[in-house]
Amino acid sequence: MARFLTYVAKRVINYAVMIFVATSLTFFLASAFMSPRSNYESRTPRPPQESIEQSLTANNLNDKTPIMERYTTWLKGIVTEFDWGNSPTGTSVNSEISQRIGASVKLMLLSTVLSIVIGVGLGVYTAQRQYQWQDRLWGGVAALFLTVPTVVLAILIVFFAIEINSASGMRIFYVTGLSSYTGDNVLLAFLDFLQHILLPTIVLTIISAVGYHVNQRTYLLDEMHADYVRTARAKGLTKKQAIRKHALRASLIPTSVNVAFSIAGIFTGAVMTEKIFAIHGLGEYFINCINNNDIYGSVAVAAFSGVCTLVGALLADLFAAALDPRIKMS
């Protein structure tokens, strides 16, 4: 066990260094490409120069301060107070992010679960019917969804939802936000939430279920042709039994590694979907930061998603170790 903890500690330290370097790199890039000064200068009426300088300096965003000085100030803030800085308007990045994580999790959780269940299920189903019409049909669907740009897919879904709404004369689907009900009835509030979440969930589920489907199909096909499946059949198992008992188990190992990654992804949200459906999650915040020259907001988002990715990587290792007897923990 001690050895296991040492191993995890080593990995975590390596990842911490990686995130530190990556985040610092993002800081310098963001500082080079973004100009918070222009936010103030383009205001009408243009504020006096002095107040521009004052606001910028107050938020540690003044490009007249040497970059290394800004960097150390920023870093010190994080290390000492876990303060990730302010936006050009002076709002705290910390509070912005913590407010928005909830919306992203609400959006992502359902679609992640659905996409795993549907995608893996389809993968197993089609692999067992390789080259039959079911496989061809779902393969074609997957190829189409992989090819169509996400924007186009989301817009078309919204378009048809609006058509249905206007045809039926009712607001069945909501295409913006996560809730609009303001009353106290819990049931109605939940129904309202479902009406809002349905369309973005469809979009997100389609996008990631396709990946699970294609991968699971490939993994299972690979294992189906393994020698040990033939051994199992030679024992007297039918082909279907041999696949179900032997090949499927092995093919789920890489899939569970993928699942580990998507668990981490739940927290970082989805940029396009949040933008199109006006959901105020991290993905949308991300776009706003870039559009508003919010250097610290962008860097914080980068760092946060970096942490999530690496937590996913660590989880993936652990999943694999738990499932595959060839990988020993001790």
Partner 1 sequence: MTDKSQNPDLQDPGKLTQETVDHAQRLHEAETGADANWDTMARDDASRDESIEPATVIDGTPVGEGPAGRRPTNAELELESQRLEHTEVKRISYAGLIARRFFRQKSAVAGLTILAVLALLAIFGPMISPYDYTDPDFAALSVAPSAEHWFGTDSGGLDLFACVVHGLGRSLVIGISYALITTVLAAIIGTAIAYARGIWEKIGMWCLDMLLVIPSFLLVAMIVRATSGGTGWLMLIFGLSAFGWIGYARTLRTMALSLRERDYVKAAKYMGVSPFTIIVRHLIPNLGSILIIDTVLGVISGINSETAYSFLGLGIKVPDTSLGYILSQGSSAMLTAPWVVLIPSIVLIVLCVSMQLIGDGLRDAFDPYSRAAGNVEEEAEDATPGPEKLAEHDI
Partner 2 sequence: MSSNTQNTEAALTVPVDDVLRYELLESNGPKNAPTGDPVMSVRDLNVSFNTEAGTVHAVRGVNFDLWGGRTLGIVGESGSGKSVTALSLIGLLDDNAHVKGSIKLRGTELIGLTDEEMSQYRGANISMIFQDPLSALTPMFSIGDQLAEALKIHDPEMSKADVRARCIELLELVGIPEAEDRLDSYPHEFSGGMRQRVVIAIAIANNPDIIIADEPTTALDVTIQAQILDLLKVAQKETGAAVVLITHDLGVVAGIADDIMVMYAGRAVERASVDTLFARPGQPYTMGLFAAVPKPHMPSNTRLVPIKGNPPSLAAIPPGCPFSPRCPIAGPECFKTEPHLEALDPAEGHLVSCLKMQQIRDQHLTYKEVYPDLEPLTPKWAEVPRDERPVVLELKDVTKVFEVQSKGLIRRTKGIVTAMDKVSFQIHEGETLALVGESGSGKSTTLMEIMDLAVPKEGTITVLGKDTRDLKSARERRELRRDLQVIFQDPMSSLDPRMPIYDVLAEPLRAQHWDKNKINRRIGELMGLVGINPDYVDRFPSQFSGGQRQRIAIARSLATNPKLLLLDEPIASLDVSIQAGIINLLEDLQTQLKISYLFVAHDLAVIRHISDTVAVMHLGKIVEYGETEEVFNNPQDPYTKALLSAIPIPDPPVERTRLRLVYKDGELVPANEVHV
**Residue ranges that bind partner 1, judged by CB under 8 A:** 18-19, 21-23, 25-26, 29-30, 33-34, 108, 130-131, 143-144, 146-152, 155-156, 158-159, 162, 166, 203-204, 207-208, 211-212, 214-215, 218-219, 222, 254, 257-258, 260-262, 264-265, 268, 270-273, 275-276, 283, 286-287, 290-291, 298, 301-302, 305-306, 309-310, 312-313, 316
Adjacent-strand bridge partners of 86? 92
In whole angstroms, how close is the CB of 21 to partner 1 at the nearest point? 6
Cα separation, 30 vs 21, in Å, equals: 14
Residue in 11, 59, 101 with CA at minimum distance from that of residue 296: 59
In whole angstroms, how close is the CB of 159 to partner 2 at the nearest point? 44
Of partner 2, partner 1, none, which one sits near residue 310, judging by CB under 5 to 8 A according to partner kind? Answer: partner 1
Q: Which amino acid makes up residue 329?
A: M
Residue in 86, 78, 21 with CA at minimum distance from that of residue 297: 86
Cα separation, 69 vs 306, in Å, equals: 24
Of partner 2, partner 1, none, which one sits near residue 7, judging by CB under 5 to 8 A according to partner kind? Answer: partner 2
Applying CB under 8 A, does 53 fall inside the site for partner 2? no
Residue 107 C-alpha from the chain's centroid: 10
Cα separation, 194 vs 51, in Å, equals: 47
Reading the block at residue 141, the tokens are: 């669907």
In whole angstroms, how close is the CB of 210 to partner 1 at the nearest point? 9
Applying CB under 8 A, does 326 fall inside the site for partner 2? yes
Residues 145-174 interacting with partner 2 (rule: CB under 8 A): none
